[in-house]
Amino acid sequence: MRIDIISVLPELITSPFEASILKRAKLKGIAEVHLHNLKDYGLGKHNQVDDYQFGGGAGMVLMCEPLSAIIDSLKAERAYDEIIYLTPDGLTFNQKIANSLSLKGNLMMICGHYKGIDQRIRDKYVSMEISIGDFVLSGGELAAAVVADAVIRLLPGVLNDETSALTDSFQDGLLAPPVYTRPADFKGEKVPDILLSGNFPKIEEWRHEKALQRTQERRPDLLDN
Ligand code: ADE
């Protein structure tokens, strides 16, 4: 998989891709993330990328010309399965969307800043608009990093234990059950006996029960589906 991220502040999200699981995905050749600075396509000697909005009102808007220039140049190199704009008015991101994006080959992500991007770019180029929740970030960069992380960790070979993504919260529509590690007795607080029993069918049954119980308590809306 290849992900191209367009931003006016790419330095905001260099580190998430240089550590841990995302770094491993890159080293193994499974996923590459390319950050592009929109200012490289800015207009005039000041590399202008934003301007006041027509109709008045506070906040700058990312202009059409630099965005269309960078998008066109990327599209000339390869076909994109989705061109995603990160925006609070997009579709709310969830595990189902992460799963479907993990099946794609090339993704482009456009990060808004200030008041966002000119609507004409959304109309002409963007195939999918994603929000990571009902709150407003300073820009789309952190949202792009969140989406990229959730997608890349699903790619076969990225996680050491292939089954571990399958047992994540949400993968089966349920929250994950509680987990424990050593010591079996921490200041008198004991790990549930069943987990020490070695009876794996029973352990699976217990985990499913706990997952169901946790989902019922915390996210009953998930059980409605
Ligand atoms: N840009 C600003 N806020 C955002 C959000 N909640 N999700 C995605 N992109 C954003």
CATH (domain of 97): 3.40.1280.10
| Residue of 86, 89, 94, 134 best suited for mutating to test ligand 1, as the one with most atoms within 8 Å of CB | 86
Domain assignment of residue 162, yes or no: no
Strands 128-131 and 82-92: parallel
User: Ligand 1 pocket, 87 CB below 6 A?
Assistant: yes
User: Ligand 1 pocket, 136 CB below 6 A?
Assistant: yes
Residues 103 and 196 both lie in one domain: no
Rounded average pLDDT over 173-202: 97
Residues 92 and 178 both lie in one domain: no
| pLDDT value, residue 114 | 78
User: Ligand 1 pocket, 84 CB below 6 A?
Assistant: no
Nearest protein CA to atom 6 of ligand 1, as residue? 88
In three-state secondary structure terms, 183 is coil
| pLDDT value, residue 163 | 64
Residues 52 and 92 both lie in one domain: yes
Average pLDDT value over all residues in the chain: 95
What is the span of the domain harbouring residue 26? 2-152
User: Ligand 1 pocket, 108 CB below 6 A?
Assistant: no
Give the whole-angstrom CA distance, residue 83 versus residue 53. 24
pTM: predicted TM-score of the whole model, two decimal places: 0.94
| pLDDT value, residue 162 | 59
Nearest protein CA to atom 7 of ligand 1, as residue? 131
Q: How would DSSP label each residue in 194-216?
A: HHHS--HHHHHHHHHHHHHHHHH
Domain assignment of residue 158, yes or no: no
Residues 184 and 86 both lie in one domain: no
% of the chain exceeding 90 in pLDDT: 90
Domain assignment of residue 164, yes or no: no
Residue 144 reports pLDDT greater than 90: yes
* Residue 151 in tokens: 């997608």
The total number of structural domains that make up the chain? 2
Domain assignment of residue 186, yes or no: yes
